[in-house]
Structure 1
Amino acid sequence: MPEAPEKSDAAMKAWQEWQDAPWGRLRYSIAEANLLRHLDASGGEPLRILDLAGGDGGDAMRLAARGHHVTIVDHAPAMLAAATGRAVAGGVTELIDCVEADATDLPRDLADGEFDVVLCHNFLQYMDDVPGTLASVLAPLKSGGLVSVMAINRHSAPLTIAVREMDPAAALAALDTDQARTRMFDSALTLHTAEEIIPTLRTLGCRDISHYGIRSFCDYISDDARKHEPDYYADLERLELATTARPPYMHTARLFQLTAWKHTD
């Protein structure tokens, strides 16, 4: 999620509609499944989770529903208000805290929070200093804790343009740029690949890094209407779950997700 002082009502509405669409639901369900591969190792104990630039709580609500305590940090009051409303509707208000702050300049009690898990989902593409941002992301994480980093996959950009827009010339140009733009929030993006981010995480002391792809097939299926059909969606979700960690599919998925453990000294 981009950090901005305010989101327009139109952008907020579009964002909420996107989350409810099949591609939005897949983004959250696959990310949750990948996290559970590692969180289940905690033996079912409630964890303290920090969701940086967590927006209106799309990830947080799923984790709170499993009994974990989640602190959402976001710069946009409208997003946090929406997250609070979702927490009330979901009956998880005691497990959700919302903090208005810059995700890379946290209040001291959060910066020194010793969290079990830190999420950095769809935030990295808005930042100029990737190593510095990731260092800030890891700072509140306790030794032996889990970080999850998600971002738009640059490898997917030419494919998306060629398949969805049927514009091979633009796809060719996209091969040699890391710049893009999000229409929903009218923001500039810098696109990365998992192969670029993994060495940075290692340099910052992360170990046992796992690479997943999110929406390896969905974004390249042009018939969006069929994705709304329950049976078709169920089949698509099973396919996405089966390929999220299976080469070569995660390398061309629309999003990459990396999970890693902060090294214990």
Structure 2
Amino acid sequence: MPDPSPVFGREASSRPSRASLRTAVVWDVLKDALDRRIEATGKDSLDVLDTGGGSGNFAVPVARLGHRVTVVDPSPNALFALERRAAEADVADRVTGVQGDIRGLFDVVGREGFDAVLCHGVLEYVDDPAEGVRNAVAALRPAGSLSLLAAGVGGAVLARALAGHFTEARTALSDPAGRWGAGDPVPRRFTAEQLAELADAAGLEVGAVHGVRVFADLVPGALVDTEPGAAEALLKLEAAAAELPSFQAIATQLHVLGEKRA
């Protein structure tokens, strides 16, 4: 099967792209989970659901691994971009876009129909995150894998403080939703513990928690783009810090990977 990493700008012969620096940790964990699921089921390919998958940032690379991917997203424009991207990557036959959202997920897909479900950047925006996680888990076949990715409170606090907005940083630190003020574009943020608790309550056996974009959003882009070897070194640093709780606490995003209980 073709290596999907070039979609993330991670060709072996070139410097990692800014996009890959922000997604590499999640992608590596997800790819390993899909490989394990292939081994466990004995299948040649998996059925993968990407809720809120937008224009296919993860769906297309997953399809390039040979899996069948259904993307559910409320935006017609995003689904149009998904169709175009899938065609350009020559995986249009393995990617299906459906308009909908996680709240009404089973109006557009079946229950227990997928080997893996991606729920990335969704829980921040839904009215009931617990319901969203329950629906994602209900879409999984027994022992299927769920990948949750959501905004982290600590990353927002650190970013506002480093920008000199100290009152906003303190507000985000104490706000139940992790918001820094009325102008905050993100409705809700989470701690690693909160995400793990949501997953556990929904019937998921949490296997791993990772901090994502611990440093990538803080390092000046000019340094990464011009300093020889900086991008590669930053990529390795992100990977090394991802599993350490002390760095998860300041990550821009948090990733939880789990398996549906029997």
- Normalised by the shorter chain, which TM-score bucket? 0.7 to 0.9
In the other structure, the counterpart of 2:10 is none
How far is the alpha carbon of 1:22 from its aligned partner?
4.8
In the other structure, the counterpart of 1:249 is 247
- 1:226 maps to 2:198: no
- 1:39 maps to 2:38: no
RMSD: 2.2
Q: How does 1:81-230 map to 2 (within 5 A)?
A: 81-108=80-107, 110-163=109-162, 165-177=163-175, 178-180=178-180, 187-221=185-219, 223-229=220-226
In the other structure, the counterpart of 2:19 is 24
Paired with 1:129 and 1:170, the residues of 2 have a C-alpha distance of 25
How far is the alpha carbon of 1:169 from its aligned partner?
3.0
Contact kept, 8 Å, 1:115 with 1:145, in 2: the verdict is: yes
> What are structure 1's unaligned runs of at least 5 residues?
1-20
How far is the alpha carbon of 1:93 from its aligned partner?
0.8
Paired with 1:169 and 1:200, the residues of 2 have a C-alpha distance of 29
Paired with 2:161 and 2:209, the residues of 1 have a C-alpha distance of 25
Contact kept, 8 Å, 1:26 with 1:237, in 2: the verdict is: yes
Secondary structure, aligned partner of 2:245? coil
Paired with 2:20 and 2:51, the residues of 1 have a C-alpha distance of 20
Contact kept, 8 Å, 1:182 with 1:188, in 2: the verdict is: no
Secondary structure, aligned partner of 2:231? helix
Secondary structure, aligned partner of 1:147? strand
Q: TM-score, normalised by structure 1?
A: 0.83
Secondary structure, aligned partner of 1:148? strand
How far is the alpha carbon of 1:108 from its aligned partner?
4.7
How far is the alpha carbon of 1:188 from its aligned partner?
4.5
Bigger mean CA deviation after superposition, 173-182 or 59-68: 173-182
Paired with 1:110 and 1:176, the residues of 2 have a C-alpha distance of 38
How far is the alpha carbon of 1:107 from its aligned partner?
4.7
Q: Give the residue type in structure 1 aligned to 2:218.
A: Y
User: In the comparison of the two structures, how many residue pairs are matched?
Assistant: 240
How far is the alpha carbon of 1:212 from its aligned partner?
0.6
Residue 182 and residue 46 in structure 1: after superposition, are their counterparts in 2 closer, same or farther (change >3 A)? farther
Write out per-residue CA displacement over residues 155-214 of structure 1, whole angstroms, 9 at most, x where no aligned residue. Answer: 211101112x1232332222112225898xx84411111211212221221114310111
Q: How does 1:48-63 map to 2 (within 5 A)?
A: 48-63=47-62
Paired with 2:20 and 2:105, the residues of 1 have a C-alpha distance of 29
> What are structure 2's unaligned runs of at least 5 residues?
1-15
Paired with 1:182 and 1:82, the residues of 2 have a C-alpha distance of 31
Paired with 1:179 and 1:198, the residues of 2 have a C-alpha distance of 20
Residue 181 and residue 34 in structure 1: after superposition, are their counterparts in 2 closer, same or farther (change >3 A)? farther
Write out per-residue CA displacement over residues 35-94 of structure 1, whole angstroms, 9 at most, x where no aligned residue. Answer: 123222123831110000100000111111111111111110100000111001111111
Contact kept, 8 Å, 2:224 with 2:230, in 1: the verdict is: yes
Write out per-residue CA displacement over residues 90-129 of structure 1, whole angstroms, 9 at most, x where no aligned residue. Answer: 1111111111112221355613252000010011000121
Q: Give identity over the alignment, percent.
A: 28
Secondary structure, aligned partner of 1:125? coil
Q: Give the residue type in structure 2 aligned to 1:148.
A: S
Secondary structure, aligned partner of 2:208? strand
Q: TM-score, normalised by structure 2?
A: 0.84
Q: Give the residue type in structure 2 aligned to 1:139.
A: A
